[in-house]
């Protein structure tokens, strides 16, 4: 039972870390947008959002898969060693719960990939159009913009994988074990 208690505590810590990462994402994104909007000629600062979003999304997903891994260990290894078993994880897996669009998928998409897409669309005119920027700087901004687009796509893929909407790779192949 001591091992089970320690593992359940680890799960709680991982869930707490996920909530902190979500809060950090919202705070960082709002701060960057607020700063860029309030200061003249600071539009390019919004190009930070896709990268910070991707990094925080990656950490959130890692915490999720770590939690899944601990729960699987409890179910497959630990439950059999306890008289009567520990059936919480088995019960959860048998349950009808599947993350749904409005409750889990859409908020995560808006928080990570959505914020990134908004930042990229807000900087589109600055990077590719009317801003008074030299050719070398424009090429650099365009390279950062396209890298941000790739980071946005990766965030989208991570959220879809985490919510079970895309089987890009199984979580066993993510290297988190």
Q: What is the mean pLDDT of residues 162-174?
A: 65
Q: How confident is the model at residue 169 (pLDDT cuts 50, 70, 90)?
A: low
pLDDT at 132 > cutoff 70: yes
Q: What is the mean pLDDT of residues 108-121?
A: 96
Print burial letters for 111-148: b (CB count within 10 Å at least 16), e (below 16). bbbbbbbbbbebbeebbeeeeeeeeeeeeebeebbeeb
pLDDT at 50 > cutoff 90: yes
Domain ranges of the chain: 2-174
pLDDT at 161 > cutoff 80: yes
* pLDDT of res. 54: 97
Give the span between the Cα atoms of 31 and 9, in whole angstroms. Answer: 33
The residue that leads in pLDDT, 96 or 42, is 42
pLDDT at 94 > cutoff 70: no
The residue that leads in pLDDT, 3 or 44, is 44
Percent of the chain with pLDDT strictly greater than 90: 49
* pLDDT of res. 173: 57
* pLDDT of res. 90: 64
- The model carries a pTM of 0.82
Mean pLDDT computed over every residue of the chain: 84
* pLDDT of res. 176: 45
* pLDDT of res. 96: 56
pLDDT at 153 > cutoff 80: yes
């Amino acid at each position: 039972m001591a091992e089970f208690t320690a593992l359940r505590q680890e799960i709680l810590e991982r869930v707490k870390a996920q909530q902190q990462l979500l809060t950090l994402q919202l705070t960082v994104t709002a701060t960057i947008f607020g700063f860029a909007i309030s200061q003249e000629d600071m539009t390019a600062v919004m190009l930070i959002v896709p990268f910070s979003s991707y990094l925080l999304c990656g950490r959130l997903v890692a915490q999720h898969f770590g939690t899944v891994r601990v729960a699987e260990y409890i179910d497959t290894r630990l439950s059999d060693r306890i008289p009567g078993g520990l059936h919480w994880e088995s019960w959860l897996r048998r349950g009808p719960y599947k993350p749904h669009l409005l409750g889990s998928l859409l908020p995560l998409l808006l928080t990570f990939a959505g914020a990134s897409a908004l930042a990229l669309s807000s900087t589109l005119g600055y990077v590719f159009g009317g801003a008074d920027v030299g050719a070398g700087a424009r090429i650099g901004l365009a390279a950062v913009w396209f890298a941000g687009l790739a980071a946005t796509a990766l965030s989208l893929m991570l959220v879809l994988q985490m919510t079970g909407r895309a089987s890009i790779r199984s979580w066993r192949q993510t290297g988190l074990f």
